[in-house]
């Protein structure tokens, strides 16, 4: 029987490249956000209570999720230290649910009207996926647990994806007449792309491959 070290050794190199890039981007963008979180500037109409509870609460609860994610998806650790996977899993999925609920408020009240619908949908779907992943683990349905934990990660990773799109939006969307339209398009893409890529990998890709395979 293969040991966990052997199983970990079988991981595709692209896996390490992805997580190294994801972790570096997460740390970079988290450090970049510290100024925003500490800033006394509030949106018009916001109160201190509103800021501390929703905004800082969301940021503090959500941040560990990005750092825990690589550990949770590492097959070696999951198999060799199941109790660590279980505890980090509670922090990860619990964080997605609480930060997502706070994100629903933040998104639905954001000062940019065009961002409200995509952000509210994104945060609600994030909570929904994390709750299903948790319930699947409780019921020991590990196939669905894995699939929904991946989906929850893909949407939580929006913190990184949106900032990457933000870096290129001035060039990529330069043909759009206004910055507001660019912002709105960015938010819709941040909702659509993680779902599209995840489902392509988990469901649509394998189904298409099977259906388009040459008949024997």
Supply the minimum distance, in Å, between the C-beta of residue 59 and ligand HEM.
Answer: 3
92: which residues sit within 8 A by CB, 6+ positions away? 65, 68, 69, 72, 149, 152
Supply the minimum distance, in Å, between the C-beta of residue 27 and ligand HEM.
Answer: 11
Q: Which is nearer to ligand HEM, 7 or 134 (CB)?
A: 134
Q: Which is nearer to ligand HEM, 6 or 192 (CB)?
A: 192
131: which residues sit within 8 A by CB, 6+ positions away? 93, 97
CA dist 108 and 120 (Å) reads 5
Supply the minimum distance, in Å, between the C-beta of residue 115 and ligand HEM.
Answer: 8
Q: Which is nearer to ligand HEM, 89 or 103 (CB)?
A: 103
CA dist 75 and 9 (Å) reads 10
CA dist 60 and 57 (Å) reads 5
CA dist 148 and 64 (Å) reads 19
Enumerate binding residues for ligand HEM (CB under 6 A). Answer: 33, 36-37, 58-59, 62-63, 65-66, 99, 103, 106-107, 110, 119, 122-123, 126, 155-156, 158-159
Tokens 């390490």 appear where?
A: 16
Tokens of 7: 């199983």
Q: Which is nearer to ligand HEM, 133 or 158 (CB)?
A: 158
Q: Which is nearer to ligand HEM, 47 or 215 (CB)?
A: 47
Tokens of 203: 């469901």
In degrees and rounded to multiples of 5, residue 110 shows phi and psi of -60, 150
Supply the minimum distance, in Å, between the C-beta of residue 99 and ligand HEM.
Answer: 6
Q: What is the dihedral of CA 73, 75, 80, 84, to 10 degrees?
A: 0
Q: Which is nearer to ligand HEM, 57 or 76 (CB)?
A: 57
Supply the minimum distance, in Å, between the C-beta of residue 73 and ligand HEM.
Answer: 14
Supply the minimum distance, in Å, between the C-beta of residue 162 and ligand HEM.
Answer: 8
């Amino acid at each position: 029987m293969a040991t966990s070290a052997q199983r970990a050794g079988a991981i595709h190199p692209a896996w390490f490249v992805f997580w190294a890039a994801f972790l570096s981007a997460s740390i970079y963008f988290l450090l970049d956000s510290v100024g925003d979180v500490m800033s006394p500037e509030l949106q018009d109409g916001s109160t201190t209570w509103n800021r501390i509870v929703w905004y800082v609460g969301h940021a503090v609860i959500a941040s560990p999720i990005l750092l825990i994610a690589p550990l949770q998806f590492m097959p070696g650790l999951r198999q060799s230290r199941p109790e660590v996977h279980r505890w980090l899993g509670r922090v990860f999925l619990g964080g997605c649910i609480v930060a997502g609920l706070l994100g629903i408020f933040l998104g639905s009240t954001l000062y940019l009207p065009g961002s409200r619908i995509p952000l509210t949908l994104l945060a609600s779907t994030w909570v929904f996926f994390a709750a299903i992943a948790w319930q699947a683990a409780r019921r020991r349905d590990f196939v669905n647990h894995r699939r929904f934990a991946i989906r929850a990660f893909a949407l939580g990773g929006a913190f990184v994806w949106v900032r990457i799109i933000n870096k290129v939006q001035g060039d990529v969307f330069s043909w759009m007449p206004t910055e507001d339209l660019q912002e709105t398009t960015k938010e819709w893409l941040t909702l659509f792309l993680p779902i599209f890529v995840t489902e392509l990998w988990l469901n649509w890709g394998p189904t298409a491959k099977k259906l388009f395979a040459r008949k024997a």
